[in-house]
Amino acid sequence: MFDLSAGFSGNIWTNRSFDREARDRYEFYVTASNKDDPTATATATVAVRILDDNDEPPRFTQRQYVFLVAENRPAGSTVGHVSAVDHDLAPNDRHSYYVDAVGGGDNRAASLFGVEQQTGRVYTRLPLDREHRHEFRVTVTVRDDVVVTLHDSATVVVKVTDDNDEPPVFLFPTKSNDTAHVAADVVVGGRVATVSAVDYDAGDNAVLRYSIKNGNKHGLFDIDPVTGWIVANGSLARYTMETFTLVLSAEDAGTQSRSSSAELYIVVGDGMRQTVEVDTQSAGLVGQLLQLPLSGTRLVLMISCLGGLCVVIIAVCITLCVYRLQRRHKLDAETLKGISANHVTHEYMRQNITHDKQYSSCLQLLKLNI
Ligand SMILES: [Ca+2]
Ligand SMILES: [Ca+2]
Ligand SMILES: [Ca+2]
Ligand SMILES: [Ca+2]
């Protein structure tokens, strides 16, 4: 690595380049000897220290950083820290951090986050809304403070965690669709209506349970807290044409739960009889039959109607056939009576009347005329 010029100068020079970051010190011995007396020598140790050159870029400690941050935090909240290492010696190791608004390809995300140039602390510029966007990818860059062409990049993934900031929203009932009709003869346990709601939060913050808060007179109704099914909890026969107003609640399972309420009007009709009356006006007998419960009575009535209809059709067909045959025989007889025997020959008849029985009848008629 080192050469020493022979002679009197004592110059030492290098025969290669050095990398201070790999090795920054070398030691070796040099010997001086008397030209006239080679046994007269002296030795010394030479130490060479390699000085630093700013040839190292700062490098991030990770290629990708994943940070979690809760939504709705005020602007300036810490998301996480990035860090880089520059192996040069000070001041060549000084570097600064930046959010790359161009190279990252997501300018919207880049506008929402900042990074402190000296510390690498990543922070929010605006409150985040997980329901609007739950993940961001931002490119951060670190540059050498002196030689700015020495730089490195890394990806910061910001995942927004949920805050229970969304209340449940009823899909049914709503202000424009708030009524359920039920027959008075609904069985106990029979479904009256199904309420539903949605919660745009995540996890437990969106798990809903339903309940009836008010209006459940006589405890006539019950609701499944999970499915939202409202069922009859007793006979409704005594409440024909009455309307019940249930105040319903949907509540999420978040730590600080949120809830919403809605009103459902339940109108008790008078059961099957009412249905048949309505259909009588609009659909006739078949409609009535179709609307009846699928029971033995309904089947018997439908089979009877179809059987009767078939009998009528068959009778009409038989009557038409008989009528056509009778009419044809009558026409043949009248035609033959009007023809003079002198102008009718057997050949003529044979050509025009092909049926054997008709042919025989004609012969008899001709004989009578002759
Ligand atoms: Ca260096
Ligand atoms: Ca450097
Ligand atoms: Ca939320
Ligand atoms: Ca919620």
- Residue 292 counted as domain residue: yes
Ligand nearest to the CA of 258: 4
Structure tokens at 278: 């309505």
Q: Does residue 360 fall inside a structural domain?
A: no
Ligand (nearest to CA of 150):
2
Q: Which one of the ligands is nearest to 131 CA?
A: 3
Ligand nearest to the backbone CA of 90: 2
Q: Which residues surround ligand 2, an ion (CB under 5 A)?
A: 54, 56, 86, 88, 92, 144
On whether the pTM is more than 0.85, the answer is no
Tell me, yes or no, whether 175 and 264 share the same domain: yes
What separation in angstroms does the CA of 340 have from each of 41, 69, 360, 365? 173, 118, 17, 11
Ligand 3 center from residue 254 Cα (angstroms):
10
pLDDT at 280 over 80: no
Write out the two tokens for 245. Answer: 């107003």
Structure tokens at 246: 């249930």
CB atoms within 10 A of CB 319: 10
Give the residue from 161, 194, 216 where a domain finishes: 161
Between the CA of 86 and the centroid of ligand 4 the distance, in Å, is 46
On the question of pLDDT at 364 being above 60, the answer is: no
C-alpha of residue 71 to centroid of ligand 3, in Å:
7
127 and 146 fall within a common domain: yes
Same domain assignment for residues 191 and 266: yes
pLDDT bracket for residue 40 (50, 70, 90): confident
Whether residues 266 and 281 share a domain: the answer is no
The H helix count followed by the E strand count for the chain is 5, 22
Could you tell me the distance, in angstroms and rounded to a whole number, from the CA of residue 191 to the centre of ligand 4?
Answer: 27
Could you tell me the distance, in angstroms and rounded to a whole number, from the CA of residue 139 to the centre of ligand 2? Answer: 21
User: For residue 20, how far is its CA from the centre of ligand 2 (angstroms)?
Assistant: 12
Q: Which ligand is nearest to the CA of 204?
A: 4
Is residue 120 over pLDDT 70? yes
94: CA distance to ligand 2 center in Å?
A: 7
Same domain flag for 123 and 194: no
Q: Both 8 and 91 in a single domain?
A: no
Q: Which ligand is nearest to the CA of 53?
A: 1
Structure token digits, residue 288: 């009535």
Are residue 174 and residue 266 in the same domain, yes or no?
Answer: yes
Total domain count for the chain?
4
pLDDT band for position 54 (50/70/90)?
Answer: very high
DSSP letter at 187 equals: P
Q: Where residue 199 sits, what CATH number does that domain have?
A: 2.60.40.60
What backbone torsions phi and psi does residue 122 show, to the nearest 5 degrees? -95, 135
* 24 and 65 in a common domain: no
40 lies in a domain? yes
CA torsion, ordered 333, 339, 345, 346, to nearest 10 deg: 0
Q: Are both 198 and 248 inside the same structural domain?
A: yes
Q: Say how many Å lie between the CA of residue 71 and the centre of ligand 1.
A: 43
The reply to whether 366 falls in a domain is no
Please determine, for residue 273, whether its predicted confidence score (pLDDT) is greater than 50. no
Domain for residue 184, yes or no? yes
Would 137 be classed as within a structural domain? Answer: yes
Tens digit of each residue's pLDDT (9 = 90 or more) over 163-174: 999 999 999 999
Question: Do 281 and 264 fall into the same domain?
Answer: no
158 has a pLDDT exceeding 60:
yes
Q: Kindly give the distance from the C-alpha atom of residue 85 to the centroid of ligand 1, in angstroms, as a whole number.
A: 12
Does 11 map to a domain? yes
CA 213 to ligand 4 centroid distance, Å: 19
For ligand 1, the distance from its centroid to the CA atom of residue 96, given in whole angstroms, is: 17
The whole-number pLDDT of residue 356 equals 43
Average pLDDT over residues 29-50: 89
Give the closest ligand to the alpha carbon of residue 19. Answer: 1
Residue 104 banded pLDDT, cuts 50, 70, 90: low
Give the helix ranges, DSSP H, for the chain: 107-112, 272-291, 296-337, 346-352, 356-369
In the chain, the N- to C-terminal Cα span, in Å, equals 155
Q: How far is the CA of 22 from the centre of ligand 3 (A)?
A: 52
Residues 294-309: what's their mean pLDDT? 53
Query: From CA 194, how far away is CA 192, in angstroms rounded?
Result: 7
Which residues have their alpha-adjacent CB atom under 5 A from ion ligand 3?
Answer: 162-163, 165, 201
> Are 142 and 52 a contacting pair, CB within 8 Å?
no
- Ligand 4 centre to CA of 204 (Å) is 8
Q: Is the pLDDT of residue 10 over 90?
A: no
Cα-Cα-Cα-Cα dihedral of 161, 164, 167, 170, to 10°?
Answer: 60
What separation in Å is there between the alpha carbon of 251 and the centre of ligand 3? 14
Question: Considering 285, 304, 323, which residue would you say is the last residue of a domain?
Answer: 323
**138 and 190 part of one domain:** no
Same domain, 136 and 69: yes
Residue-range definition of the domain harbouring residue 284:
274-323
Between the CA of 199 and the centroid of ligand 3 the distance, in Å, is 9
Domain boundary among 161, 181, 210: 161
Q: Ligand 1 centre and the CA of 92: distance in Å?
A: 7
Q: Give the closest residue to 166 by CA, choosing from 276, 240, 42, 256.
A: 256
Read off the pLDDT of residues 80-91 as tens digits, 9 standing for 90 and up.
999 999 999 999
Q: What is the pLDDT of residues 180-193, one digit of tens each?
A: 999 999 999 999 99
Residue 352 lies in a domain: no
